[in-house]
Structure 1
Amino acid sequence: MDPASPQGPRKGRGSLSNAVGRFEGYDRVEVDDGWGSADEPALPLATTLTEDTTRTIIARNKSPDVPFDRSINMYRGCEHGCVYCFARPTHAYLGLSPGLDFESRLFYKPRAAELLVQELSAAGYRCLPMALGTNTDPYQPIERELQLTRHILEVLRDFNHPVSIVTKGALVQRDIDILGPMAVKRQAKVAISITTLDRALARRMEPRAATPERRLETVRALADAGIPVGVMAAPMIPGLNDQELETILEAAKDAGAGTAGYVSLRLPLEIKDLFAEWLEAQVPLRAKHVLALVRDIRGGKLNSAEFGDRMRGGGAYADLLAQRFKLATRRLGLNQTRELGGLDCSQFRRPPRAGDQLSLF
């Protein structure tokens, strides 16, 4: 596909390059053919869709520092193009680049709803809240056409199965007709991820996600519909957007958010180089300072993967950010929580199917 070295930012894309994944035995290098092609502006990059023929849909999780044990991802790759996305390295398992491939070569699971019905109908299934948006965004642009997330929500509604959603997509408003009645039964909650209120920074950092204004509008629409909604100020990037933490929380509170959370920037595996490359191109005067601060909260490295540390980091700078968050949420009355408490699993029922014998009780 595209060479590893960048030609400059591409319109609507977050990554600048397409370096091969960590499992490949070769690399790609851009070479000028003598006709000055390396100096030409980068061409627009089209999105391609490929069917994912997975035979299961519920992913299990045992990480002690995330508040769920099961999740559903209808898509692999994400067209939002957030340059910092921690899910980018998963594209390497497909033999693709965590760079431009991740945001342009997408995979979708057409049988997602059918598979979910099968798994929820299994005799041994035990209901606990389902998380959507844990890897790639369930409301990325292609959802408008494919509607896989909506079909998943219809199944969860029919089974009275509680769900928690995290998204940057304003498209979640489309599904208020499903989420609203679920919320009445304490079976739905939504968190809107807002990283910045600066439109210019958002366009460069999250090129195909909803604008900050649209995300705040979405918070308000969900709150007005009676759906519990929170804000995730994530990731907080030292020296780039972390100074906005309080203003993000204030704006979300004004829009109707009741809970809040934050996560410090993580740069696992290939993301380290992708993010450093992006900084040099998009905010060159701050690039070295930002990376120095990231190392400060990550014990001298650009990433720390230890449970209990990877979400917040450590050191004086990370402690200060945590204290700022604590004070701001207390002042604003935001009930910060890591738990999915409040979602009711007791109403879970397998809906009757054609041909089922009627119960006597």
Structure 2
Amino acid sequence: MKVTINFKITVLFATAFLFVCALFVLLGKVQIDSYLTNEQGRQKDIVEKIIYNLERKEGFSIHEYLLSKSFKLVENDRSAKHIIAKGEKVFRINSLYGSFSSIIYHNQIFFYVERLNTKHLYELNASTRLEYLFLLSFFFSLILIIFLYFSVLRSLMPLKILKKKIKNISAGKIEPLSEYSQINDEISEISFEFDHAINKIQELVKSRQFFLRMIMHELKTPIGKGRIVCEMLDNQKQKDRLVAIFERLELLIDEFGKIEKVLSRNCQLNLQTYHLSLILEQAEDYLMRDDFYQKVKISYKEDTMIIADLELFSLMLKNLIDNAIKYSDDKACEIICSGDYIIVRNKGMQLKKTFDYYLKPFVREQNTQVEGMGLGLYIINNICNLHGYNLTYSYEDGYHTFKIVFSRLK
């Protein structure tokens, strides 16, 4: 399971949210218990002072005294009766002047006065009740956590955009990331350094393209002059040989240009539907071997139609066939064409390493007498991937089997 940064942050803040809720519930219970205990003690002191004042002062008003002690009368008789009936009486003090009780109802404490002709229930003024301050602190903490959560997520949003642009860059679509340079944080530093690296890469790519084009141009110039000189020769046999050589050189230069585009991911496919036999004919032309049909055995189970870029796919098959002939013990290979795949088989020793190893660039079997740069399978695999086809390999009974599966058609 892929665990993203957003998921980790969400889990972290959710844990913090639950922890704060649990903490406030616990603190709330402790606070309420402490508040009720203290208020009970205060009300007992108030009862003692009321009795003391009633004994010594004429005209002493219990109502006025309680108002001065932050109480107010519960004026709704129905509510008062309900609280008296359902509330918990924590203490009751009887005296000659009446009965005084403390009643707890829904975590609120009330003061109940019963005298000969009057019964009054008092509650604390809302302004003096600590629960409001407690609830305010609780909601403030939750709002702060939620604000920090969305603030952190918002600060990470540019990372998603950076990820998308980096994917575009890997696909060949280069976009600047300098839009974050105004933000003074780590993400802006990353985007700045990445921009710098992209500019360097673009300069290197342009330099390489210019260098390759210059080489190809310089090579084509003497080839063109050589072909002109060939036309002046009287000996037709020598003339034909030289023309074939120059055509071969020109074809190799064109092939080199196509391979460069494939490897630099700067290649636009011209996809059309072709018979596999036509593509093989084109690959045969690219190979320029007079002994092609002596070295290559072709069998058709079905001359299927495939969607491909004719030049690139022919070039790929040319490289695959060329490799099969070069590395074969008998310098020959077999091609099997079917509706879903094409197979190129050759006889040879088993590979010393895994097939994936040979798909890397500049990799060749050690101690081999075959010349080359080790780019054959790398180029073949890249062209297959561009077409959406699969290149597979197996070794059985002394034969290497390279299979291109036309999965794109399914």
Q: What is the TM-score with the length of structure 1 in the denominator? A: 0.21
More strand by share: 2
Mark the structure with the bigger radius of gyration.
2
More helix by share: 2
